[in-house]
Structure 1
């Protein structure tokens, strides 16, 4: 028995619990039995207790419960945590696993820890799905026939307030991340095509004039006619922007994304990559410092086509 061998080697309770994926409480109980009766004291003396493993049939039943979702088991939201899974297993099967063991079993089922995707309740999912299923392939094919480059456009704000992520430090010594409490923000606009992306930064809010200037920059940098796909931002719908688009005489046409469907805009994933990876823990002294850092970060990303392709993969818009 592995526990008996570990006790004989003099390993600590914490070491054994991590190795076997059980609770410290269970290991202490085993250790007490081992000290009184040796290996024989660890043999089961009756019906299996909390430390026993689930049978194959029980494991299959457990997988089904996971698929049903937490709300079927009385929880307020439909997202699983290790604690919730542990409670359901104990309630349904009378088996008490440690969270470490739960984690290992979930991994063996093919489940992984993931950050939930946010989705607005206000969105008309049928209309949104129809756009992806029917309108997107139509736009893609028309653009190819007309020699247009498709560019998704989106705006975002970048703050001096740093994005905090988990980091490493000695136990009990919480790291300190200092930043200016009265932080300022920088505005950014970007356009992602299939192979590249373009961006512009400025202080203050992006309004109609800034949108027009960015589209002009796209025209200068991308050869041929353009199809811009963007959301319903007021600046995108303004009379000033509409007049400018008409003045291009068809060189630039636009398509509006369905409301509450940012997940299909590849630029959203550019912002996510920038904020969650390149800007994490970064606390600039000034907006100029922030702007310089962001420009360098985005220019590095422009040189990595694999990352740009990943934005399209995340948006789940088929290109063929």
Structure 2
């Protein structure tokens, strides 16, 4: 509605665009709509896109998530975004991208969590020996500058 007030005052498009921090093209489009249909044409039509998964559908999904991954045949207890994506497709019949799954989970208060401890079977002495002995032979040699060749 701020743009409409600027149109009523007779302000130039560039002034309105700078004031509202939008592109000049947007202001031109708004002015055209304002001229043709009045102030009602400038009202918001709501969010650009409704969420694909409703609150009721997410409640069903959350019940499935709380069952854990092992109940669905995964070897560990980690829900990855791709696993949740497969669960949504299987249980709700809807497809989301991995980013869409992340945004959905975040919208309903789920967070990204990493395991707090390392694997119990890790051998720190073996790892240190590998880093000292094997890694230097496996990595490529450093490039020398042209000055060293002379």
TM-score higher than 0.5 here?
Answer: no
* Shorter-chain TM band: 0.3 to 0.5
Q: Please state which structure has a larger fraction of its residues in strand.
A: 1
TM-score of the superposition, structure 1-length normalised? 0.22
**Which of 1 and 2 has higher RCO (CA within 8 Å, sep 6+)?**
1
Q: Please state which structure has a larger fraction of its residues in helix.
A: 2
TM-score of the superposition, structure 2-length normalised? 0.44
